[in-house]
Structures are given as structure tokens and as C-alpha cells.
Amino acid sequence: MPRFAANLTMLWQDLDPYQRFEAAAADGFRHVEMLFPHELDEERLAKALQDLELEMVVFDPAPGDWAGGERGLLALPGREEEFATTLRDAIELATRIGTSKLNALVGVPPAGVSSDQAHATALANLHSAVPLVNEAGITLLVEAINNIDMPGYWASTVARAAELVAAVDDPGVRLQLDQYHAAMAGEDPLECLRTHFPLVAHVQIADVPGRHEPGTGSMPIADFLRELDVLGYAGFVGLEYRPLVDTESSFVWMRTMDWEQN
């Protein structure tokens, strides 16, 4: 049975960020994830996780100027030192709160930067990150994000993200496979999972279209979850979806979908 992690960026959006931790615990979750916890007060964040007996399994380092349209620094030439700084800061926070995985957003290369330049920059940054994450006992993740939701994102397919991970060839760098982004990019999430499973260290799900909870779209998410079990996946499945109506009702699928391995 997959271990689900509630995504506190997507779920309970009617609550303030700290109340979302309480809501997750009240609904029986023991594992959570979110995008940018560095935006929260570190002391209050650490206390919430400890008091509620929650584990944050993954979060994203600072992505650059998000309000200005930046979506990560990994593949941005000339920003290498800034990437390294955000990674060090994220490792420090992760060590403080007990998080073992960090998802480094690849980014949208600015005009004038070729795909080859973006690739070379991302690869160099990952190689430089390896000793940092290995020393800290943390796994650095690379995620594909589709170009419909995030135009210009360089690692727009699972195949491209997996190629980066494979090229680094170190257990400290692994793949975050988001079933929703794979489907939106025109890939088959099940085939992506089977092909790249040895590289996968974290998984997220949402239905297509809409990015709502499983059962609201056309994706065979039950098959995807069963395949995780067949392949022996031991990590977490992040619920990174926007509830169609509200968060509480969005959990009905867990009780009604025939996803458990027979």
C-alpha cells in the first residue's frame, strides 16, 4: 500500500499555511510535502511538525524570483552560485526538520539561452550538488514539469529529467515522477514509471485534465498505484492536486477507488 503525503501547498487552501499542518494531522496523515517552507517561520514550522508528529518528506529549495516568473535555478547559466546558496539553505532547513529529499526545480531558461547551454548548466550544478547532499544524507530530486502548466520549463518530459539524473550517475540525485505532469506532456505515466523506476525516489499524483483528485479525470491512477506496488516502490506518493470542491471531500477516492493490489 502506498504511503501518501499530503501536499500542503495544494490542499486546504482555505486555511493559512500553519493550519494546514493541523488539518493534515487531523485527517490522519503522518507525512506531508510542500513547495517552499523557507517562506514560513522556521521555529514555528519545526514546532508544528514536532507537536503534530508529522514528517515533511520533501520540499523545494528557493526557485529564484517566483513572482517575476522564475521557476527554478538548476538550468540557468550565470546563476550557479545562487543555486548553490539556495541548496545549502535548503539542506540546513531539511536537516533541522528531518526532511530527507529536496526537489530542485530546473527552471525556465531566459531568452538567448540554448537548450544545450541549459542542459550543460543543469548537469554541472547537479555534479556540484552531489558532495553537498551526500554529506548531509539527503537525496536531491529532479522533476519534469509540463510546458502547458509551466511554459518554457526546460525539463518538460520525464525522459529529459531522467536523462539528467542518469548522466549524474550518483545515488544522491534521483527522479521525482509526477504522474500528472507526465500525462500533460503527452507521455504515458505507467510506461515512464516502468522505464525509469530504478531512478525514481518520489512520486506525485493528480488527475487529468484539471489537476484534481483521482477519479475526476481520465487517468488510470488506480493502475499507476498498483504498478508502484508491483515494482516494490517503498517511497511516498504526494497528493499534489487541487481539490475539485474541497479538501475533505477530495479524499473519498481513497476509500472508493479499486487501487489496492489484489
Query: Position 125: which residue type?
Result: N
Active site includes 53?
no
CB neighbours of residue 50 within 10 Å? 11
Active site includes 70?
no
For residue 220, what are the CA distances in angstroms to 9, 10, 182, 207, 234?
Answer: 24, 21, 13, 9, 21
Closest Cα partner for 75 from 132, 149, 129?
A: 129
* Grid cell digits, residue 63: 526557485
Q: Are 58 and 103 in contact (CB under 8 A)?
A: yes
| Torsion 231-237-242-245 (CA) sign | positive
Q: Which of 43, 92, 143, 248 is catalytic?
A: 143
Q: Which of 33, 187, 213, 240 is catalytic?
A: 240
* Grid cell digits, residue 18: 500553519
Q: Cα–Cα distance between 215 and 3 in angstroms, integer?
A: 19
Cα of 31 vs its chain's centroid, Å? 14
- The helix/strand/coil state of 141 is strand
Q: Catalogue the active-site residues.
A: 143, 240
